[in-house]
């Protein structure tokens, strides 16, 4: 069974640009969550999608948005990039997102802002 | 007070010893608890999860949960150099139909030869 696939693996952008990251969950998984990981803040929850609906959202500005498609694939968009957005962005999937279901992570997209 | 707290380490143990990693959480509504291992430059990898008070064993790993004291721990028996990594504790509290996973900042484990 293929794992969670994130593309691209690496991105370099400049301040003010926007970026879109993609995540394909494990086959059969319908819940997709996004996290930002930085050395200073650790892993922080961005949002969770299930059946094309955002079910939960973390404390990030509106520049961070996402969506989920009918095949459960998800995209995350960051607009007006800032230097502080440099981070590892991780996507995790689970069957339905219930509390007793572990989340499995993809390899992440490392975003660098110049 | 942080929602999930871990000692950042590094925790240094000799090869073959037992490594004990601890995690405390503040939200009594938390229902499920997860341990992830993260090697440098890699993504988190699920090791164990536990929902009920007591111990849960899987190979060399044992997760222990005490909801009354709000702590969860991970024991690694017969520690190997390949166990050297950062171990992340994650706690999940359902909010309606959704759930949010909150992570600690991780404990760095070093297994020495």
Chain A residues touching residue B34 (CB < 8 angstroms): 102-103
The torsion angles phi and psi of B83, rounded to 5 degrees, stand at -80, -10
Compute the count of residue pairs across chains A and B with CB atoms less than 8 Å apart: 58
CA B47 – CA B88 distance, rounded (Å): 10
Interface test with B, best of A39, A56, A93, A99 (most B CBs within 10 A): A99
> How many Cβ atoms are within 10 Å of A44's Cβ, its own excluded?
16
Write the pLDDT tens digit of every residue in B94-113. 766 556 789 999 999 999 99
Cα(first)–Cα(last) distance of chain B, in Å?
36
Cα(first)–Cα(last) distance of chain A, in Å?
37
In this prediction, residue B99 carries a pLDDT of 65
Beta-carbon separation of A99 and B45 below 8 A: no
Chain A residues touching residue B98 (CB < 8 angstroms): 48, 50, 55-56, 97
In this prediction, residue B95 carries a pLDDT of 65
CA-CA-CA-CA dihedral for A97, A37, B44, A102, to nearest 10: -10
Q: Which two tokens stand for residue B109?
A: 């484990």
In this prediction, residue A1 carries a pLDDT of 67
Q: What angle do CA A35, B93, A89 make, to 5 degrees?
A: 5
% of chain A residues with pLDDT over 90: 85
In this prediction, residue A100 carries a pLDDT of 76
In sequence order, the β-bridge partners of residue A22 are A7, A75
- Share of chain A residues as helix, strand and coil, in percent rounded to the nearest 5: 5, 55, 45
CB B63 within 8 A of CB B72: yes
* Residue B4 clears pLDDT 60, i.e. is over it: yes
Q: Strands A109-113 and B11-14, how do they pair?
A: unpaired
Write the pLDDT tens digit of every residue in B43-97. 999 999 999 999 999 999 999 999 999 999 999 999 999 999 999 999 988 766 5
Beta-carbon separation of B94 and A42 below 8 A: no
Q: Strands B45-50 and B85-95, how do they pair?
A: unpaired
CB B111 within 8 A of CB B87: no
CA A69 – CA A22 distance, rounded (Å): 11
Q: Average pLDDT for residues A87-99, to the nearest whole number?
A: 88
* Residue A9 clears pLDDT 80, i.e. is over it: yes
In this prediction, residue B96 carries a pLDDT of 60
Residues 11-70 of A with CB under 8 A from B: 33, 35, 42-45, 48, 50, 55-56, 58
| DSSP alpha helix (H) spans, chain B | none
Q: Average pLDDT for residues A53-61, to the nearest whole number?
A: 92
* Residue A40 clears pLDDT 90, i.e. is over it: no
């Amino acid at each position: 069974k293929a794992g969670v696939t994130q593309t691209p693996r690496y991105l370099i952008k400049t301040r003010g640009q926007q970026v879109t990251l993609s995540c394909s969950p494990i086959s059969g998984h319908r819940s997709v969550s996004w996290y930002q990981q930085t050395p200073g803040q650790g892993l922080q929850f961005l949002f969770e999608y299930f059946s094309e609906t955002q079910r939960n959202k973390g404390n990030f500005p509106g520049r961070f948005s996402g969506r989920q498609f009918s095949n459960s694939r998800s995209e995350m968009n960051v607009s007006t990039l800032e230097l502080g957005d440099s981070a590892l962005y991780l996507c995790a999937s689970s069957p339905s997102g219930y509390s007793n279901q572990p989340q499995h992570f993809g390899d992440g997209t490392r975003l660098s802002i110049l | 007070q942080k929602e999930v707290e871990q000692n950042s380490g590094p925790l240094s143990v000799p090869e073959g010893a037992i490594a004990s990693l601890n995690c405390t959480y503040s939200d009594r509504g938390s229902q499920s608890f997860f341990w992830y291992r993260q090697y440098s430059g890699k993504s988190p990898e699920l090791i164990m999860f536990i929902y009920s008070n007591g111990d849960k064993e899987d190979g060399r790993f044992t997760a222990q949960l005490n909801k009354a004291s709000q702590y969860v721990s991970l024991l690694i028996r017969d520690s190997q150099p390949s166990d050297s990594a950062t171990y992340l504790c994650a706690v999940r509290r359902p909010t309606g139909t959704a759930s949010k996973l909150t992570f600690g900042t991780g404990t760095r484990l070093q297994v020495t030869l």
